[in-house]
């Protein structure tokens, strides 16, 4: 009786913790799938009799969804880039370093279910585990909410990374446009929010970049920052200033 009460208590505590993570993620996701996405194989090994599964299958699925969603987004926002250029940008965005950093931003490491040995060896901070867990979360979102929801979530998470990776030389489009404009007009362009749509957890913003009241370009993104970068890029293309 006591052991069953303890198990119920632990389950309740886990549910509360996952609710906090769901708020961080900004999605309404099955707690069961989310728990599976956080279950490392070391945890499964120590709980063999509980019929617990690891997150490896979800990671496999999430990796495929991540690759497709990123490729589709890059295809749409960079119509002038070649296949080789798009492939390089995608590789930079979906690499372990980027995914692990995003997982840390979400605090994912605190929620990982790890075996004792993995816990003691610093698994919660290991980049490979964090990147794998993030891909598993993407797999869970896809299974529970569908591709469109997963794609939008990926865009919100990695949209800025796509812009930064595409700039190549480390100089973002806003900085590049400002340098060009100040050189010729001795003043900086301004950015204006033109519209926004969607629910709070999945908004898309449309921004225009202006000079002396004239719209030079517009951009749309999952954050104002991304939309501004795409507006600046649009302006550079229109003005024939893209290198």
Q: Is the dihedral of CA 42, 43, 49, 50 positive or negative?
A: negative
| C-alpha separations of 95 from 3, 7, 32, 173 in Å | 43, 38, 27, 22
Rounded distance between C-alpha atoms, residue 16 and residue 183, angstroms: 55
* Residues whose CB falls within 8 Å of the CB of residue 215, separated by 6 or more in sequence, listed in order: 208, 209
| C-alpha separations of 2 from 8, 9, 16, 50 in Å | 10, 11, 21, 18
Rounded distance between C-alpha atoms, residue 108 and residue 127, angstroms: 11
Catalytic residues: 63, 135
């Amino acid at each position: 009786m006591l052991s069953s009460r303890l198990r119920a208590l632990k389950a309740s505590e886990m549910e509360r913790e996952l609710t906090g993570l769901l708020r961080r993620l900004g999605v309404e996701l099955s707690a069961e799938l989310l728990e599976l996405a956080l279950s490392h194989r070391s945890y499964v090994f120590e709980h063999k009799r509980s019929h617990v599964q690891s997150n490896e299958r979800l990671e496999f699925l999430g990796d495929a969804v991540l690759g497709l969603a990123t490729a589709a987004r890059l295809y749409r926002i960079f119509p002038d880039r070649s296949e080789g250029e798009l492939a390089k940008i995608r590789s930079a965005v979906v690499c372990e370093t980027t995914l692990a950093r995003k997982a840390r931003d979400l605090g994912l490491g605190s929620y990982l279910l790890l075996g004792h040995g993995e816990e003691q060896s610093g698994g919660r901070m290991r980049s490979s585990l964090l990147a794998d867990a993030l891909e598993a979360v993407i797999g869970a979102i896809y299974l529970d909410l569908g591709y469109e929801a997963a794609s939008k979530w990926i865009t919100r998470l990695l949209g800025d990374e796509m812009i930064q990776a595409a700039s190549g030389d480390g100089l973002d489009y806003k900085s590049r446009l400002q340098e060009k404009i100040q050189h010729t007009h001795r003043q900086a362009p301004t950015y204006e929010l033109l519209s926004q749509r969607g629910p709070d957890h999945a908004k898309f913003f449309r921004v225009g970049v202006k000079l002396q009241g004239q719209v030079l370009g517009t951009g749309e993104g999952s954050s104002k920052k991304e939309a501004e970068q795409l507006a600046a890029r649009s302006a550079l293309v229109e003005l024939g200033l893209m290198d």
